[in-house]
């Protein structure tokens, strides 16, 4: 009767666009109407990644570790966590938490090596690529691995 006539169009609008490389969260709160639109393309590296793809990436990292000029002890430090992660990823119902925890140890070892040797710097580049690609499959952010 004396009230304001409701508008046919929303009084507020919000839009987000761009690439989505993991997850992106958008929240809106309004006293009146709110329209929110989110558009984006998923990063091609993570679309349809399978356990087989993850195992192949971990094999790539394992080969890089073995081919590096790191000492045998330094290689062993990385491989002690990488091998169980790869083995678990190859299982039918892989425990992603176990894989994540092992790969976090791999990442921490490689970060330490990166800071102390040239071979570690080179290996870190390969490791960062592999871990970045696998992180969404594991359901963790790349920051989990110190990237």
Cut 0.85: pTM above it: no
| pLDDT, greater one: 34 or 83 | 83
Strands 19-20 and 35-38: unpaired
Measured between alpha carbons, how far is residue 89 from residues 100, 102, 128 in Å?
Answer: 10, 11, 18
Look-up of token digits 């304001």: 4
Which of 105, 104, 114, 38 lies closest to 70, judged by CA?
Answer: 114
Lowest mean pLDDT, pick from 12-26, 37-51, 73-87, 129-143: 12-26
Please give the Cα distance from 119 to 3 (Å, whole number).
73
User: How much is the average pLDDT of 26-47?
Assistant: 51
């Amino acid at each position: 009767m004396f009230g304001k006539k409701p508008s046919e169009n929303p009084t507020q609008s919000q839009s987000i666009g761009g690439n989505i490389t993991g997850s992106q969260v958008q929240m809106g709160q309004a006293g009146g109407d709110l329209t929110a639109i989110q558009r984006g393309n998923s990063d091609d590296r993570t679309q349809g990644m399978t356990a087989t793809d993850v195992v192949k990436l971990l094999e790539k990292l394992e080969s890089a570790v073995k081919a590096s000029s790191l000492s045998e002890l330094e290689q062993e430090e990385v491989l002690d966590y990488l091998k169980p992660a790869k083995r678990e990823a190859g299982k039918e119902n892989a425990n992603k938490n176990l894989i994540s925890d092992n790969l976090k140890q791999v990442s921490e070892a490689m970060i330490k090596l990166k800071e102390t040797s040239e071979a570690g710097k080179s290996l870190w580049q390969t490791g960062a690529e592999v871990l970045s690609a696998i992180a969404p499959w594991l359901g963790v952010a790349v920051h989990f691995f110190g990237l």
